[in-house]
Structure 1
């Protein structure tokens, strides 16, 4: 062996430095070869399977796997050198930190692959837009949780006082939470709406005294378009805590009418009036078969008939009511049935 290879620099011979450098170079070559094999063979094998998960998984994990091979090769290559205890400790800590980073990278990539394979297709099939808006938040939340744990573990392995760091973060987090409590409440409110699904975009609902159609469900608020066309924005924390009436979920619309006839109406005409009401409701194409007519009470100025019918889901409520009311008016006029109106008779005593 040539004599110059035995010359010492910084506690190691040129030969030892060369072996370490060759090991590091070899680790890069191996990593590059594995990367090439994954791209040209493993991906092709994954594409031949019916399952889409393995395709996404291979694509997500190839970079972290190559990174792990590189840092592992560097770690073993540096073992050929005679290093001081301080240098060895620094390298060990650096290696553990890099390995933890690689682990976190692998976990986040794996979660992305799982979400892309299973959650994204499910979300695309749903009608509402809230889950589309929450999915990126879920992704970022998982990544933030994994990386936060990774940073804490890495700092602990690097020799830092993690308890002091966590205490500082806790105080800052408490202050931030107090300042953003409404935002957090709205965020949890949107999550509650997403999980419970009391309505979807397009439904007509009654909430917080407003009656209207849901036009948008966001992370912070829900927007309703009231029946008079005005847009109302309600924070999600109130929507989640309120009793919600989903008008669109009703199987049919119940219509209740009180029709008053004059007191000179005979019993036969009262029966005929109820028969006409049933005929009108039964012959309309947008009504259900469940029809109720009843002579309910003697009012001050009228004989009252309670008329209940149901309009089918999806039919025009105002259109059906208009058609039925016009038919009642025509049929009652043709049959000589008089509608009552409030009257008052005053008797005077002659002087």
Structure 2
């Protein structure tokens, strides 16, 4: 649900006014005395040093010179103070709206001149909070020139801290929503957006929890609250939770690393240790891979972050390395012919993108021709069918040229003693 700022803004102003009246009344009750009213000039407090050089009648709008307003008191304070405060509230409200208007106009002009979305996000981000911050600052300046009771002065100082902290926190939370929305728009174009949709709510809520916790701690510290014990409690609780959910957190961080690095997508064929298969699903705890035998294997995500992953699908083409052996009794001219025939057969196929052919060695039982072939495509079924066509064509061309393929053979020579024959004494000759 989208948080609307204007209702919160008005509610904060109403709460501020109620607390201000309550603080004045409390301060007046605590400072009850029979002393005569102080002179008007003593009602100006040097709380705002930058205004110390301005004449008092300008700061009080001359209301302190009106005898009726100075003589009548409400909760122990002169009536003119309340009227002057209402004027300052009125001025602060409209000055803040004017600053917000100028900011939006300037940002709209800036956004119209650029092609990036950053300034559009900034325009949406600052609208609202800048109004509250400027309102509170001008209100603090206006009310801070009067000598209010100590309770009211403390309220003004701490109220400024709380409202500014609220506005900054709201801006950061809105920034999180904007960034997550931009991330989600990009993820719509991804093939494995199902994993992104699982990760969106967790990341968004986690970031917001961190922002709120940090805002509460910083605001509490600025209000004079000792947060050392609270931080220690959070640290101990976080340590206990981390130890209890160690494997779960490891799998979650593994899922985040898979998302950020994207070593594979759904549908990719990958190799992890002894696993070779196609990715079917990527979850927050595990990744499911169906191997070539049809079995579905569940791999914990922490394994994905600590193991080398071979993405077979991401290769630019399919490379094959193999040897073709021809018999040793093949004449040199036919060896050259064999090289030529192989070159012609492979080059003639439309899916051949590169080729290396070399008569590279004399093997144990064959004249070895080394072939490196690059198939211009990623479909493994089409690759197997194409290699079958190539092999059949090579077999046909070699048969026509009278070139024989070699196979492992072993020649056995018998050295036989002519004096030995069937019926002779002693063992037969040894076969070597």
2:250 to 180, 185, 190: 185
Distance 1:250 1:324 in 2: 22
Q: Does residue 48 of structure 1 match 2:112?
A: yes
CA offset at residue 329 of structure 1?
3.2
Q: Distance in 1 between matches of 2:94 and 2:317?
A: 71
Matches within 5 A, 1:86-101: 86-101=151-166
Aligned to 2:363, the other structure's residue is in SS state: strand
- Give the conservation status (yes or no) of the 8 Å contact 2:327–2:367: no
Structure 2 CA distance for aligned equivalents of residues 79 and 252 of structure 1: 74
Aligned pair partner of 1:323 in 389, 392, 396: 389
Which residue matches 2:372? 309
Compute the RMSD of aligned alpha carbons. Answer: 4.3
Bigger mean CA deviation after superposition, 332-341 or 178-187: 332-341
Contact 1:94 1:158 in 2 (8 A): no
Is contact 1:311–1:320 with CA below 8 Å preserved after alignment? no
| 2:162 is equivalent to residue 75 of structure 1 | no
Structure 2 match to 1:165:
230
* TM-score w.r.t. length of structure 1: 0.75
What TM-score results when the alignment is normalised by the length of structure 2? 0.63
Match of 2:305 among 218, 229, 240: 240
Give the C-alpha shift of residue 323 in structure 1: 0.9
Q: With CA pairs under 8 Å and 6+ residues apart, which has the higher RCO, 1 or 2?
A: 1
In structure 2, what is the Cα distance between the partners aligned to 1:47 and 1:255? 53
Matched, 1:291 2:357: yes
Q: Which residue is equivalent to 1:156?
A: 221
| CA offsets 1:164-209 (integer angstroms, 9 cap, x no match) | 0001101111111112222332343344445555445554321132
Q: Distance in 2 between matches of 1:51 and 1:277?
A: 55
Residue segments in structure 2 that go unaligned for 5+ positions in a row: 1-65, 415-420, 424-432
- CA distance in 1 between counterparts of 2:216 and 2:300 reads 35
1:27 equivalent to 2:88? Answer no
Q: Quickly say closer, same or farther: Cα 1:283–1:21, change in 2 above 3 A.
A: same
3-state SS, counterpart of residue 299 of structure 2: strand
Structure 1 residues 256 and 280, CA, compared in 2 at 3 Å: closer, same or farther?
same
Give 1:161 deviation, angstroms: 1.7
Q: Report how far residue 68 of structure 1 moved.
A: 0.8
Q: In the superposition, relative to structure 1, how do residues 83 and 334 fare at CA in structure 2: closer, same or farther (>3 Å)?
A: same
* CA drift at 1:77: 5.1
How far apart, CA to CA, are the structure 2 residues paired with 1:127 and 1:146? Answer: 31
